[in-house]
Amino acid sequence: MTIIRRLTLIRALSALLVLAGTGIAAGPALAANTIVVDVATGKVLSESNATQRWYPASTTKLMTTYVALKALQTGEVSADLPVVMSRAAAAEPPSKMAYPAGSVMRLDVALRMMLVKSANDVAFAIGQTLGKGSLEAFVDRMNAEAAALGMRDSHFVNANGLPAPGQYSSAKDLAILAVALRKEFPAFSDYFSTEAIAVGKGTMKNHNGLLGRYNGADGMKTGYICASGFNLVASATRDNRTLVAVVLGAEGPIVRERTAAEILENGFNTNPRSIRDTVADLPVSSGPPADISAAICSPAGRTARANERQEEDKREDTFGSPYMTDLQRTAVAVPVDLGGAAGAPGIEAGTRLIAAYGIPVPTWRPARPGEPGFDGELPVGGASGEEHPASPAPAAETAAAGGE
């Protein structure tokens, strides 16, 4: 029996034991699909059901990021490219930044918002902007890049990972993507390791619980919709050796992070020279992606996650993992905000995008001091008139829409 097969059996048994402890009925649909790959060699250090098609949820945003970083690296666009929030983008459900239509931000800022907050509206806006007004054109580009990378079990229909027919991937394919991101764009690695963003007076933390808690953790992206369960693409570096791990279908964020820490630790303790198979050697799957909505978003599933959070407060080990520690400091936040876009061609492109997709309909407001028609009285609530606040209140997250 090969090392990979032995580790696969161990992970499958561990998944069943974890599920038994949550009160959710154990079964193949809920067994977390996992893989660990050595970035330098492409060797598969462990895997479990890594080729099964799965809903990627917000890990889709890594593919959106890949297309954007390739455009940046080739000089097609600059970090100052204006990303415009169209009406369609602003209407996307949470998780989101909730900026109004017509808002403009730098591509650099938009990428950080998308990767840290997992902002669906910003991902949509990035797609439209890089697609020159057409999200469909951008998605075609996502699929072309995925095919070029060898992601044969993946197909994308949007830029943010919200539920949609025909959108699927696999642990294997997401590992291929993660390896490509780490190898092709080392200069942009800080996008994935950003612990938090500071927006106005507020701070939004990264959903990736490994950052700052697992030794060497340095990326990449979480994902969650009811159909997928809790997903994570994670990377970690120790002694100049980088591994990527993918966990799909975990029944909660705590179990997801715990699983990722465990398989990464096993990976660092595995000598890649003893492994023959690379991620490219794994077979291609077929059929529709698994849908575990009935278990994940059932009353029993929600209760199990609530119980897990309560148990977390009682544990000595962070997330119940001997490989993780509590974050003993404040998460490092990178300031982000609207505006700051530069470059006449980009501004013109952004203006055309606004024209194509509409801007907010103007509404009447009282005249302000110094304006024609001001009668000396201020309206109730003062005269700040922040119609496009730089730090909107975080939108409520919904389980079905993709809260990570």
Query: Cα–Cα distance between 140 and 138 in angstroms, integer?
Result: 5
Catalytic residue among 46, 48, 61, 221: 61
Closest CA to 42 of 156, 150, 192, 155: 150
**Would you give the end-to-end CA distance of the chain in angstroms?**
38
**What type of residue sits at position 307?**
N
- Whether 167 contacts 305, CB under 8 Å: no
CA distance 180 to 131: 22
Name which of 53, 50, 33 is nearest 251 in CA terms.
Answer: 33
Tokens of 387: 């119609």
Alpha-carbon gap, residue 126 to 47, rounded angstroms = 33
Residue in 44, 290, 285, 291 with CA at minimum distance from that of residue 178: 44
Tokens representing residue 328 in the block: 């003993």
| Helical segments of 269-398, H only | 293-296, 299-312, 344-357
Q: Which of 43, 46, 48, 58 is catalytic?
A: 58
Query: Whole-angstrom Cα distance, residue 71 to residue 111?
Result: 13
What does DSSP assign to residue 367? P
Rounded Cα gap, residues 370 and 321, in angstroms: 62
127, 159 contact by CB (below 8 A): yes
Q: Could you give the CA distance from residue 371 to residue 302 in angstroms, rounded to a whole number?
A: 54
- 117 is a catalytic site residue: no
The answer to whether 88 and 204 have CB atoms below 8 angstroms apart is no
Q: Which of 48, 103, 118, 321 is catalytic?
A: 118
Amino acid letter, 109: V
Q: Does the annotation count 58 as an active-site position? A: yes
User: To which residue do tokens 């009811």 refer?
Assistant: 226
Active-site residue flag, 61? yes
Angle at 256 between CA 251 and CA 258, to 5 degrees: 125
Give the start-end residues of each E strand in 71-181: 82-84, 104-106
Cα–Cα distance measured from residue 56 to residue 53, given in angstroms and rounded to the nearest whole number = 9
Give, in degrees to the nearest 5, the angle at Cα 232 between 96 and 262. 145
Active site residues: 58, 61, 118
